[in-house]
Chain A
Amino acid sequence: MPVNAEKEITKLWKAKQGAQGEICNTYYRWRDFALGLAGENADPMNVALDAAEAFGRYIGKGMLPRLNLLKGDEAFIGMVAKQLAATWANEGAVVTVEPGEKPTEAVIRCKRDTWPTAAKTFDVPMEEVARTREKLFESMLVDPSVFFNKPLAIEMQKAIPRGEGEWVFKLYMKEQ
């Protein structure tokens, strides 16, 4: 059975990378279009943050069937962190999840991200990239927080587009 494994994997690899690149490019094409519709007086940062909020809420709802409280709060925070990391990894980022200082904390660390590179192509300010990611994650937590009655929060501690070498987010459960 002559399957050329190298050839097949290369084809899949290229297809995956192409699709990941298109996610960022498509988003920024839509951003340009949205800014055009919003008019000259619109603040691009506000438009981007509104979009991130809408996307985040939608993605957050999609996380609900994949989360549960059966193994307690510590496992729950880990599940949420992995969900956030997985959506980012699908876009081409290299993301890891680490335990936080407390049982109800987790650290999401990203050392390679496709978004800043794509943003440069479309002349998008790097601060917008940083705050959009932060807003996206915050919004993704809204529905899981209410649904599970567990107030989740996230803090951006480092950001690649701010020249800090890596992204670091602290995910945690607020005191009730």
Chain B
Amino acid sequence: MAKQLFEWDYASYPGAKTYPHLFSPIEIGNLIVPNRIKYAATEDNLNQHDGFVTDADVEYMRRRAEGVVGGLCFMQGVYMDPARKGQGYVGQAAAWDDKYIPGLKKIADAIHSEKAVAGFQLMDCGRVGAVEVPVGHGPSAVPQRLRIFKPMAEMTNAEVKEMIQQHVDAAKRGAEAGFDVMEISGIVGYLISNFISKYTNRRTDEYGGDIRGRMQAVVEIIQGVKEAVGPDIPVGIRLCSEELLDDVGGNTPEESMESYKISEEAGVDYISCTLGWQESIFPVISRDIPQGNWLYLAKRAKEHVKVPVQMAYRIFLPQFPEEAISKGELDMWEICRSMIADPLMPKKVAEGREEEIRHCVACNLCLARLFRDAPMTCYISPVCAHEHDPAFFPTPVEDEDDKKEVMIVGAGPAGLECAYVAAQRGHDVHVYDKREEIGGTLNEASHAPYGDEELMTCVDFQKTMCEKYGVELHLGTEVTEELIEEEAPDTVILATGPVYKKVPGADENAKNIVNVLDVLSGKGSVGDKVVVWGNRKPGIGVALKLAKEGKKVTIVGEEKSAGFDINPSFKWRYMIYLRQNGVTAYNDCTIDEVGDGGIVVKTFDGHRFPVECDTIIVTEREANESLKSAVQSEGAELYVVGDALVPRNLSSAVHDGYRIGLRI
């Protein structure tokens, strides 16, 4: 008889009417989960480097547990070996000894405090592990393609059996700590997936050979864990539906589906459908992949197994899983990055507050940080991973005398972020912009190809929050010294965006020199041979847009590598797109001369060569000093945020604005 841990009635939730399938219960083994929502286990590097859980991680999880409104909430995968070969992240929680149980219990309790179902994940990182030791372990010693990962040593038969027992023992500890569901991680290049793949498993003992042999260790783990935790705790597994490793001789999709069936035969109560490895050369979750792109894999999985199928992977909006569940092509909506960006995302869906969701922009900064031993950070959410720190949350200004008249100059992401936070705290906030619309330069930047339109979700969110907290917008109003003097605000925030540099050696009024914003908005006239001056993200974005329109594009920039301001987990995509679109980039170079029909490029060490072009697009930016002295002469408190301070990216604008909004 299946049991439900916490009572939830969604009848009063507007979102449950819009998405009835998402908010319907489901049986997972002998457990009834009140809805179809799951926060998928995600590393955050917030725990101690010896594997003990920290208060920061407990609060991080508590917030996500609140978000799933009664659904499944998984803590990050734990490593299980004292030798730490299975540890893939410096701040990964451990479960190889009973001494870790009290810390793990804090997380289970935190999840339960929000009436959510607590999930515990077993994750030996295998091929991408050994973050703190010199050599990793795996079924075979297949060399690493990416130097960031440690060399591999082949596990002996006895070591494989020991590893299986470690999974079983860790599961017992998880159950003792109070977790309600067990999950085995077999994805993206972690140890279980190493055993399953013929790319990394070349063993000749009972743990290698055909797909059944390569699944043998997995079967023994599933059976051992089930026996250890008993019938009341469901056991699931995350498995690749496609490895995307054809370039190195990985499993076929048929073999992957066979691994699903074998897992089901072994007794798993659900399967989480994933795809790709960290080593795959194909993109899976970056912004250039359309949302809902991979749902066909869940449908295929459903055709092969009877147990519930769950899936994440570019499913950011509730309508996708709602429709898939209604058609019987999916059973549960897994959420990962969307709840990193906004931990209350599904709760807001349930409450009919979707416009208040701060959407993930699929930039993968979170992953880039984790792989570089840094604590979790979100590009778009300044609060992420600071849930334990009250200083990161807006506190009301108690004293009426401390409430200020705040003038924010610029309705871009930095200004709007600052505006709603300051207003939320009780200040009287007015945002001015000479444009007729909000969003600043993001309006144009979002026209760059490969998914950049999703960046505008940030402005949509900020607009909602500004309305909610009573921010007054003055659009179409240019701020002048006279206006500052007339309004006499207590505080002025300059969020005016950057100014664009002049092209060296060029006539300032030359008709063939065009600003990047004009090009992206379609106002600027561009010839067939284009030089883009600046090799940061704005330059790459406009170069790709024009190249896709058939222009011959050359990038010239002073940075040593193109796109150095893009995080590495996304930058590789842009480098491929530049190559595919025939864009040449001259990095570590500047424009030395501008003449008729072309420019002269000068390398860092003084070599000069001509490049033909009929148009030069300016993307190089610098800080905006305007209005500073006017504000200072008025004696108002002054802050500068976003690109006006230092030209950077959307993330910096949002984080700047948020911090200053807290400080005023």
Contacts and interface: CB of A to CB of B under 8 A. Distances in A.
Interface of A: 1, 3, 5, 8, 11-12, 61, 64-65, 68-70, 143, 146-149
Interface string B268-281: 00000000000001
B143 interface: yes
Contacts of B202: 149
A64 B142 CA distance: 12
B281 A68 contact: yes
29 contacts: A1-B593, A1-B595, A1-B598, A1-B599, A1-B600, A1-B610, A3-B609, A8-B607, A8-B608, A8-B609, A12-B607, A61-B143, A61-B144, A61-B147, A64-B145, A65-B145, A68-B247, A68-B281, A69-B247, A143-B143, A146-B141, A146-B143, A147-B143, A147-B145, A147-B248, A148-B249, A149-B199, A149-B202, A149-B249
Contacts of B247: 68-70
Contacts of B598: 1
Contacts of A69: 246-249
Contacts of B609: 3, 5, 8
A1 B612 CA distance: 11
A42 B599 CA distance: 58
Contacts of B593: 1
B146 interface: yes
Given A148-B249, A149-B249, A3 B145 contact: no
A70 B249 CA distance: 9
Identify which of B143, B147, B598, B607 gathers the most chain A CB atoms within 10 Å of its CB.
B143
Nearest to A62: B147
B142 A147 contact: yes
A68 B248 CA distance: 6
A46 B607 CA distance: 43
A114 B610 CA distance: 32
Given A1-B598, A3-B600, A70 B147 contact: no
A64 B143 contact: yes
Contacts of B248: 68-69, 147-148
Nearest to A150: B249
Nearest to B505: A1
Interface string B584-598: 000000000101001
Contacts of B600: 1, 3
B513 to A, nearest CB: 16
Nearest to A63: B145
Given A1-B595, A1-B599, A1-B600, A11 B145 contact: no
Nearest to A65: B145
Interface residues of B, number: 23
Contacts of B595: 1
Contacts of B143: 61, 64, 143, 146-147
B69 to A, nearest CB: 43
A70 B246 contact: yes
Given A69-B246, A69-B249, A148-B248, A3 B146 contact: no
A1 B248 CA distance: 49
Q: Which 4 A-B pairs have the closest CB atoms?
A: A68-B247, A1-B595, A64-B145, A143-B143
Identify which of B202, B249, B598 gathers the most chain A CB atoms within 10 Å of its CB.
B249
Contacts of B281: 68
Contacts of A3: 600, 608-610
Given A64-B144, A69-B247, 15 more contacts: A1-B598, A1-B600, A3-B609, A5-B609, A61-B143, A61-B147, A65-B145, A68-B248, A68-B281, A69-B248, A69-B249, A147-B145, A147-B248, A149-B199, A149-B249
A146 B610 contact: no
Contacts of B607: 8, 11-12
A142 B400 CA distance: 73
A168 B199 CA distance: 32
A107 to B, nearest CB: 25
Contacts of B246: 69-70
Contacts of B608: 3, 8
Nearest to B250: A69
Interface in B120-143: 141-143
Contacts of A8: 607-609
Contacts of B145: 64-65, 147
Contacts of B199: 149
Contacts of A11: 607
Contacts of B144: 61, 64
Interface string B493-521: 00000000000000000000000000000
Contacts of A70: 246-247
Interface in B251-301: 281
B195 to A, nearest CB: 16
B190 to A, nearest CB: 18
Contacts of A5: 609
A2 to B, nearest CB: 8
A70 B144 CA distance: 18
Contacts of B141: 146
A8 to B, nearest CB: 6
A146 B147 contact: no
Contacts of B599: 1
A133 B600 CA distance: 42
A12 B143 CA distance: 37
A1 B571 CA distance: 34
Contacts of A12: 607
A149 to B, nearest CB: 6
A174 to B, nearest CB: 16
A121 B249 CA distance: 46
Identify which of B202, B248, B595, B609 gathers the most chain A CB atoms within 10 Å of its CB.
B248
B321 to A, nearest CB: 33
A64 B146 CA distance: 8
Contacts of A146: 141-143
A24 B155 CA distance: 41
B407 to A, nearest CB: 47
B27 to A, nearest CB: 42
Interface in B598-624: 598-600, 607-610
B135 to A, nearest CB: 15
Interface string B470-487: 000000000000000000
A69 B595 CA distance: 47
Contacts of B147: 61
A3 to B, nearest CB: 5
A9 to B, nearest CB: 9
A129 B595 CA distance: 51
A143 B151 CA distance: 11
A146 B609 CA distance: 44
A70 B609 CA distance: 38
Nearest to B610: A3
B271 to A, nearest CB: 28
Nearest to B595: A1
